[in-house]
């Protein structure tokens, strides 16, 4: 049974009996299609400090869904938050809050669902070679399970999310632009 993918229908048209999987992290293509923007526009905004806070996972840029939704709510009202912080600044507890939200939705041990590599790439938006290539999985420490005497590899979305949260680092650029460009 293939999972339904929430966020921009990346998984095609799955069957109606498939469970809806909401992954609380977006990559640049997912966010740009959500807002109907070009990825270049998001990159420019990120370098200028506009938009929701961005996070790096190795070389990929990721956005926490809860921060994107908070930015969307605040942007409808004003371009400054009530505390006077710019909207693109991440809250100090953003990662902890995202982990807490995900853990509340986590199924019990018996209801756990394991996904194939293709499904994980569709759901999470992580680079496919990280999931498909054994050497990359081991190098990055991506959690996975070997099933059927090690012949089949499966992934837990919850464990992948925790792994990603522990490896995210904030994208911070100086006011005048990127210093490493």
Q: Give the pLDDT of residue 181.
A: 38
CA distance 19 to 17: 6
| Global confidence as pTM | 0.60
The pair of structure tokens assigned to 71 is 């930015």
The answer to whether position 132 is within a domain reads no
**b/e sequence 38-70, b meaning 16+ C-beta within 10 Å:** eeeebeeebbebbbbbbbebeeebbbbbbbbeb
Using alpha carbons, select from 55, 38, 39 the residue that is nearest to residue 89: 55
Specify the number of domains making up the chain. 1
Q: Give the pLDDT of residue 142.
A: 92
pLDDT 10s digits, 117-153: 999 998 888 899 999 999 999 999 999 998 888 788 9
CA distance 84 to 166: 28
The answer to whether position 25 is within a domain reads yes
The answer to whether position 113 is within a domain reads no
The answer to whether position 162 is within a domain reads no
- Residue 176 scores a pLDDT above 80: no
Q: Give the pLDDT of residue 21.
A: 67
Boundaries of domain holding 96: 4-108
The answer to whether position 168 is within a domain reads no
- Residue 175 scores a pLDDT above 60: no
pLDDT 10s digits, 23-42: 888 888 889 888 888 989 88
Q: Give the pLDDT of residue 180.
A: 44
The answer to whether position 159 is within a domain reads no
pLDDT band at 95 (very low <50, low <70, confident <90, very high): low
- Mean pLDDT of the region 56-69: 87
């Amino acid at each position: 049974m293939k999972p339904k993918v929430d966020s921009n229908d990346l998984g095609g048209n799955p069957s109606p009996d498939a469970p809806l999987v909401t992954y609380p992290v977006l990559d640049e293509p997912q966010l740009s299609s959500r807002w109907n923007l070009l990825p270049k526009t998001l990159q420019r905004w990120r370098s200028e400090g506009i938009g929701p806070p961005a996070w790096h996972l190795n070389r990929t840029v990721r956005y926490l869904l809860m921060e994107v939704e908070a930015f969307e709510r605040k942007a409808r009202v004003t371009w400054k938050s009530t505390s006077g912080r710019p909207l693109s600044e991440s809250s100090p507890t953003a990662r902890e809050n995202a982990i807490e939200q995900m853990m509340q939705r986590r199924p019990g041990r018996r209801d756990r669902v394991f996904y194939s590599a293709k499904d994980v790439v569709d759901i999470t938006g992580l680079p496919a070679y990280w999931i498909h290539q054994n050497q990359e999985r081991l190098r990055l420490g991506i959690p996975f399970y070997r099933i059927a005497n090690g012949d089949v590899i499966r992934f837990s979305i919850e464990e992948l999310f925790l792994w990603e949260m522990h490896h995210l680092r904030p994208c911070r650029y100086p006011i005048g632009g990127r210093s490493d460009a």
